[in-house]
Structure 1
Amino acid sequence: MSQVLDTPPPTTPAPAPVDPAALAARHGLSVSGARPSLLEYIRQLWARRHFITAFATAKLTAQYSQAKLGQVWQVLTPLLNAAVYYFIFGKLMGTSRGVPDYIPFLVTGVFVWTFTQSSIMAGTRAISGNLGLVRALHFPRAALPISFALQQLQQLLFSMAALVVILLSLGMPITPSWALTIPALVLQSTFNAGVAMIVARMGAKTPDIAQLMPFLLRTWMYASGVMFSISHMMAKHTHTPSWVTSALQANPGAVYIDLMRFALIDSFHGNQLPPHVWAIATGWALLAGVGGFIYFWKAEETYGRG
């Protein structure tokens, strides 16, 4: 009898470990906020094109809602910048010497550069400045930097209306070359949106990028011929290596400015453009647009997470 009582009870085998991934797949579950495939991401972004347009328009409308002059500042701001640059660079520093139609030359450069500068600055805060929206709603995060770039394009179009008035008032004729502004703006918009997505990812991880960016953009502006003619300036400094001139003329900031000047200003001739300028402009647009989009998409799962 004691031998029966001393026999240990049979042990129940431990249950087999459950694979969480297999269990989720069995019940049709997926990781919340997982990055979709690139094609699926593009499809989701296209499906929200109306949101992107409406968001950009709303931001543009609200930008000067507290000012008495309202949307007039969309045109006054770049015009006032151009006036300051004209006084400092055109008059005090004499960069207007040897540049025909310097006022249209300068205003065109300021307007086109402001488009790129504002798109990039807005892109740095596209994610970090909208964390509440990013954490509350599920949508392709690329919609934010793209909408900010679209907002700056809308503002440029307002400024272009003022530029046309300036050109006509100074006796600039309307020529067939004005149609070249359309492909130039398409290429620049693609480039700006791509760079905005690049800095949006960088700014989401390191918000201090937004503090550094104005200094980088100011340096880039001085190297892009906004206030002076690069070809005319380099002609006066014959000791400058040819590769420096080529690098300055081929940088995207200068390329898109020069294309717009060539399209609108009758005295800005093709010999002032770098060789193969349209190929360079297209290459920059594709490199920044496609590369920036893929770079932003690869970090889709990280946006909004502390």
Structure 2
Amino acid sequence: MAHTAVADPDSGLTQAQLAARYGLSFAGARPTLAAYTRQLWTYRHFIAAYANAKVVASFSTARLGRIWQVLTPLTNAAVYYLIFGVILNTQAGIPNFIAYLCVGLFVFNFTSAAASGGVQAISGNLGLIRALHFPRACVPLAVTLTQLQHLITAMVVLVGIVLATGEPITLEWLLVVPAVALQAIFNAGLALGMARLGAKLTDLRQLMPFVLRTWMYGSGVLYSVDKFAENLHNPVLVAVVHANPLLVYIELVRHALLENAPLTSAAPRLWALAAIWALLIGVGGYLYFWRGEQEYGRG
């Protein structure tokens, strides 16, 4: 039976009208996008502190500690070089394949780890989310910041590899900074979007290794993507492969650090695609996550 909720029979005002008069709001209501963004800004120090704590904790039980930030990418590069560079000989036609491979691996791992961490950002931190009140976007953003710190450490190693393999230092190296910045925005939006999906679909984390492995094979990490695209025999599919955001960010960093790295597209087109992907996924992921703010930690 329908009825009108009247909070004060004498005044005739409904509960909603009384709440508006005294500045009250529903518990757990989603704030406006502008208010939510302001809240996130006030929690920026919490995001940074949480990310730093995650970095320290990730190596706290290892005897070598944070040295593994250097050893892990180097070990991965050595294994993939042995398999793809030596055994399968995918280095044919690619100058300085070692540096080429390392750039691909380090840049890909930045996005791969952000996506994997994003999936578990909400579902893996329910205790924190239910115990404390804060904008939930802080957690997936902290995941992205954590992986950015890992990338910066890996970049120090990468510079050493690039120099050791004979690449000269040029002004184009400075282009790594905007390329990584655009990728970080892309990763933040991706982590936010995956965090909301992971909160709803708890089995998604089981699928992520397969999704990310497929994405890696199509991103020109281990070989020139032209070897992959030439077997598609469909110009539309080839265009999709060339527009792959991870391929775009990898090739921008390769173009900056390596003198003769082969590119699938002209550099201006790569920069345009990088900016478009950063805007599309960065903003889209943020909006998608914000729309589910009131759902996180419930149930």
TM-score for both structures, normalised by structure 1: 0.90
Cα distance, 1:244 vs. partner? 2.8
Distance 1:239 1:119, change over 3 A: closer
Paired letter, 1:46: W
| 2:256 pairs with 1:263 | yes
Any conservation in 2 of the 1:98–1:232 contact (CA below 8 Å)? no
Which structure: larger Rg? Answer: 1
Q: 1:168-214 CA distances to partner (integer Å, 9 max, x unpaired)? A: 11121100110100110010000001010001001111111111111
Paired letter, 1:209: L
Instruction: Look up the match of 1:5.
Output: none
Choose which of 143, 147, 153 in structure 2 pairs with 1:148: 143
Partners of 1:34 and 1:239 in 2: CA distance:
49
Instruction: Look up the match of 2:4.
Output: none
Any conservation in 1 of the 2:108–2:250 contact (CA below 8 Å)? yes
Instruction: Look up the match of 2:296.
Output: 303
Cα distance, 1:233 vs. partner? 5.4
Choose which of 172, 190, 199 in structure 1 pairs with 2:185: 190
Instruction: Look up the match of 2:66.
Output: 71
Distance 1:233 1:210, change over 3 A: closer
Q: 1:249-296 CA distances to partner (integer Å, 9 max, x unpaired)? A: 210010000000000011115665476111111000000000000000
Partners of 2:162 and 2:251 in 1: CA distance:
16
Any conservation in 2 of the 1:106–1:227 contact (CA below 8 Å)? yes
Alignment of 1:95-244 (within 5 A): 95-231=90-226, 234=229, 237=230, 240-244=233-237
Any conservation in 2 of the 1:113–1:221 contact (CA below 8 Å)? yes
Any conservation in 1 of the 2:252–2:267 contact (CA below 8 Å)? no
Instruction: Look up the match of 1:28.
Output: 23
Q: Which runs of 5+ in 2 are unaligned?
A: 1-8
Paired letter, 1:122: G
Choose which of 38, 53, 56 in structure 2 pairs with 1:43: 38
Any conservation in 1 of the 2:218–2:228 contact (CA below 8 Å)? no
Secondary structure of the equivalent of 1:211?
A: helix
Secondary structure of the equivalent of 2:275?
A: helix
Distance 1:27 1:277, change over 3 A: same
Any conservation in 1 of the 2:51–2:142 contact (CA below 8 Å)? yes
Choose which of 244, 250, 253 in structure 2 pairs with 1:251: 244
Cα distance, 1:134 vs. partner? 0.8
Partners of 2:45 and 2:287 in 1: CA distance:
22
Partners of 1:47 and 1:162 in 2: CA distance:
34
Partners of 1:281 and 1:216 in 2: CA distance:
21
Cα distance, 1:26 vs. partner? 4.1
Any conservation in 2 of the 1:230–1:245 contact (CA below 8 Å)? no
Partners of 1:216 and 1:274 in 2: CA distance:
28
Question: Which contiguous aligned blocks of 4+ residues in structure 1 show a shift greater than 2 angstroms?
Answer: 14-29, 231-234, 237-246, 269-275
Q: 1:30-81 CA distances to partner (integer Å, 9 max, x unpaired)? A: 1112111101111110111111111111101110110001001112112211
Distance 1:218 1:287, change over 3 A: same
Partners of 1:255 and 1:224 in 2: CA distance:
8
Paired letter, 1:180: L
The count of residues paired between Structure 1 and Structure 2 equals 291
Any conservation in 1 of the 2:77–2:102 contact (CA below 8 Å)? yes
Distance 1:46 1:15, change over 3 A: closer
Distance 1:58 1:39, change over 3 A: same
Instruction: Look up the match of 2:85.
Output: 90
Instruction: Look up the match of 1:11.
Output: none
Cα distance, 1:238 vs. partner? 7.4
Partners of 2:291 and 2:56 in 1: CA distance:
32
Paired letter, 2:25: S
